Amino acid sequence: MTQAKRQSRKLGWRFVVFAVALVFLSLALVRNVWVDVYYIPSESMEPLLLTGDRVLVSRMAFAGHPIERGDVVVFDGRGSFTPLKSGSGPLADGVVGAAQWLGLAPNNNVYVKRVLGVAGDTVKCCSADGLLEINGVAVSEGYLYPGDEPSALKFEVTVPQGKLWLMGDHRSVSLDSRSLLGMPGGGLISTARVIGSPIANVWPLGRIHPIDTALP
């Protein structure tokens, strides 16, 4: 009888270990193929995303169609945004992945910005009316943080194939493509670095809602 009990306990523990491993493998598959959760640590995308928000990011957002002007993208900033310095430390202007949120691993290389220029676009600031110009046409940016101007820094860039020009919605505090002007790459981010797009806010409780990134 004792031998049977011991055998039963061993089988029970093996089942638990197998079940836990299966759960972690399933979560890893979901996170790497379909969706992931990211924490927003800064105000650079206000009012769309607030500091402390946890957002669900679809990795399939751009499957089957190209990234378009106005899309909000989450991207890997290594080789571009990550080397930037802000104040006393690295650029604290991005998003933090689920692994870091759970205390399992650090991730300081992922950022979220809005696409203002795709391949072939010429993006300029500012027009005679103080607006952002894209391909010679002044655009009204209804998503901007109230009171912000399109850009205090004057610039004009033409976006080559495979690249994006990205800016935050809270322009006065956002470190974005403008901050990389004069550096290798000139502020342009590779489309291959895009992870996906935020589709829903999942935390805090009072801010659970689908995220509408469509241009006003």
Hey, which residues are catalytic here? 44, 113
The Cα 12–Cα 118 span in angstroms is: 56
Q: Dihedral through CA 69, CA 152, CA 170, CA 133, nearest 10? A: -20
DSSP label at residue 28:
H
The Cα 155–Cα 135 span in angstroms is: 13
Q: Dihedral through CA 200, CA 37, CA 46, CA 63, nearest 10? A: -60
* CB 111 within 8 Å of CB 81: yes
Within 13 Å of residue 163, how many CA atoms lie on the same side as its CB? 17
The Cα 109–Cα 83 span in angstroms is: 9
Which residues contact residue 122 at a Cβ distance below 8 angstroms, ignoring those fewer than 6 apart? 133, 134, 135, 136, 156, 157, 158, 159
* CB 53 within 8 Å of CB 101: no
